[in-house]
Structure 1
Amino acid sequence: MNLSGIIAYPITPFSADGRGINLPVLTQSLELLLASGCHAIAPLGSTGESAYLSEDEWQQVAAHTVTTVAGRVPVVIGLSELTTEGAIGRAKFAESIGADAIMVIPVSYWKLTDQEIHAYYREIAAAVSLPIMVYNNPATSGVDMSPRLIVDMFRDIPNVQWVKESTGDIQRMHAIAELSAGELPFFNGSNPLAFEALCAGASGWCTAAPNVLGDLPRALYEYVYDGNLKAARDLFYRLLPMLRYVVAGGLPKTIKAGLELQSIAAGAPRKPLAAASDEDISELRRLLAAVQ
């Protein structure tokens, strides 16, 4: 499977009482991302509050996303489970509903060894035929996978086809490219690193930014790959204050507030996450106006 470009993350909107999924608003948010020209959609990541969903809710969001996108772009379903058995169950569900790929991040209570992480991915891969994107984000998962481990898994596990690197360290991406002799496609997962990572040869950018910035992330990607680095740099610095803000403010909170400013009733994140304050919304409005 060929995967590149902007992989966009949707929110998970909740019902008014916070106890279920608002599927009509999920549809709206998915259509907004498709209209932004993203190259793929990845539900059930940090932006989608995956860690706060019940199993039934997780399955609802996954299935509704696949149905709504309807093959217009690939759907890469995110999964993060403490246990290998739980991860395999979700991977099998993703395969059963017609997802195109899965993005897998291990999470841990006990610190995992490299051998345990390798076995985690190997057993998931053996249970499904879906291609896998390895997702490294120690800030949220508590697991930091070295470039050497990631490349070893790429060499040893046929399903492992890409990696999303979210540490914000460009040297990690250089190391992945060097250790794999340029064979392992890497994706940027750190918004403030987007320009630098794309210039370093990243196959794409995994981001929630299209929710609030429309087609501008795709434009940045295309400028770089067309060789128009001045236009890419100028656009990146225009976007950078917003890119920093949505990450620093917490993706579910800031992205949902940004969607509300676009008349999409995204609602609040699930508690204990807090909704955006009046000051947050005012700053988002200012940043959005500055991008235009």
Structure 2
Amino acid sequence: MTLSGIIAYPITPFTNDGRDIDFHTLGKTIELLIDNGSDAIAPLGSTGESAYLSQDEWRQVAKFSVEKVAKRVPVVVGISELTTQLATEKAMFAESIDADVIMVIPVSYWKLSDQEIQSYYRTIAESTTLPIMIYNNPATSGVDMAPELIVTMFKEIPNVTMVKESSGDIQRMHKIFELTSGQLPFFNGCNPLALEALCAGASGWCTAAPNLIGALPKQLYESVINKELSVARNLFYRQLPLLRFIVSGGLPKMVKAGLALNGIDAGSPRKPLLEANEDEIKALEILLSNI
């Protein structure tokens, strides 16, 4: 499985009391992302509030998403678990529902050694034939994987085939490219770095932005691919204020607030996350209108 382009992240919509998943709205937002030119759909990431779902809810969202997409584009199912056992169970379930890729991020209370991280990925890989995207996001996971470790796992674990780098350090992407002579596909997971990462050779951009600004992220990707750098710069700076704002404010609440402004009620984030306040909504409305 070779991925490229825009890997889009749907939210997980809840009913107004936050108790149940609103699958009708989830389906509507998945259709929106596909209509906006997304090259893959990635449910159960940070934007999808995966960490706030029960095991049964996670399975329901994964299965619904795969069925809704119906092979029109690849589905990349997010897995983030403290224990290797639970992560492995999710990997096996993702394969059983015919997902295309799993994106795996270790989450840690105790600081994990490189050996423990490698063991985590190796055990998951042995449980499935699905391609694995390593996901490095130290801000949310508490685990920071150096490029050298990521490259070692790429070389030693056969179905580790790509990486999403979200540390916010463009030098890590350069290092991954250098260490593998460009053989390890890397994806940008830091929205404000989109232009730099794509110009540095990223295979794509993992982002929730298409929920709010339609095809603009895809247009940015295509302009870089087509070497239309002046067009790419204009597209990027047009999006940048919004990209910064939704990241700093928290993706689940900001994307849900933006969807509401665009006429799609996806409910509130699940507590303890709070919904956007009046000032945040007003600022978001201005940013969207400017775009």
TM score, norm. by length of structure 2? 0.99
Q: Within 5 Å, give how 1:167-178 maps onto structure 2.
A: 167-178=167-178
SS in 2 for 1:18: coil
Q: Is the 2:147–2:176 contact (alpha carbons within 8 Å) kept by the matching residues of 1? A: yes
SS in 1 for 2:218: helix
SS in 2 for 1:103: strand
Pair 1:231 & 2:238 matched: no
RMSD (CA atoms): 0.5
What code does the residue aligned with 1:13 have? P
How far off is 1:2 after superposition?
1.3
How far off is 1:16 after superposition?
2.3
CA deviations over 1:70-123 (Å, ceiling 9, x no partner): 001000000001010000000011000010000000000111000000010000
Q: Within 5 Å, give how 1:71-110 maps onto structure 2.
A: 71-110=71-110
Q: Is the 2:16–2:268 contact (alpha carbons within 8 Å) kept by the matching residues of 1? A: no
How far off is 1:17 after superposition?
1.9
Task: Name the CA distance, whole Å, in 1 between partners of 2:238 and 2:20.
Answer: 37
- Residue in 2 that maps onto 1:29: 29
**Which 4+ stretches in 1 moved above 2 angstroms?**
none
Task: Name the CA distance, whole Å, in 2 between partners of 1:246 and 1:181.
Answer: 34
Pair 1:40 & 2:40 matched: yes
TM score, norm. by length of structure 1? 0.99
Task: Name the CA distance, whole Å, in 2 between partners of 1:2 and 1:46.
Answer: 23
Pair 1:141 & 2:141 matched: yes
Task: Name the CA distance, whole Å, in 2 between partners of 1:16 and 1:115.
Answer: 44
Task: Name the CA distance, whole Å, in 1 between partners of 2:243 and 2:17.
Answer: 30
Pair 1:256 & 2:285 matched: no
- Residue in 2 that maps onto 1:62: 62
CA deviations over 1:27-83 (Å, ceiling 9, x no partner): 011011011100000000100000000011101110010010000100000000101
Percent of paired sites with the same residue: 67
Q: Is the 2:18–2:267 contact (alpha carbons within 8 Å) kept by the matching residues of 1? A: no
SS in 2 for 1:269: coil
Say how many residue pairs are matched: 291
Task: Name the CA distance, whole Å, in 2 between partners of 1:183 and 1:104.
Answer: 20
- Residue in 2 that maps onto 1:269: 269
Q: Which runs of 5+ in 1 are unaligned?
A: none
- Residue in 2 that maps onto 1:198: 198
SS in 1 for 2:288: helix
Q: Which runs of 5+ in 2 are unaligned?
A: none
What code does the residue aligned with 1:124 have? I
SS in 2 for 1:135: strand
SS in 2 for 1:104: strand
Task: Name the CA distance, whole Å, in 1 between partners of 2:20 and 2:270.
Answer: 10
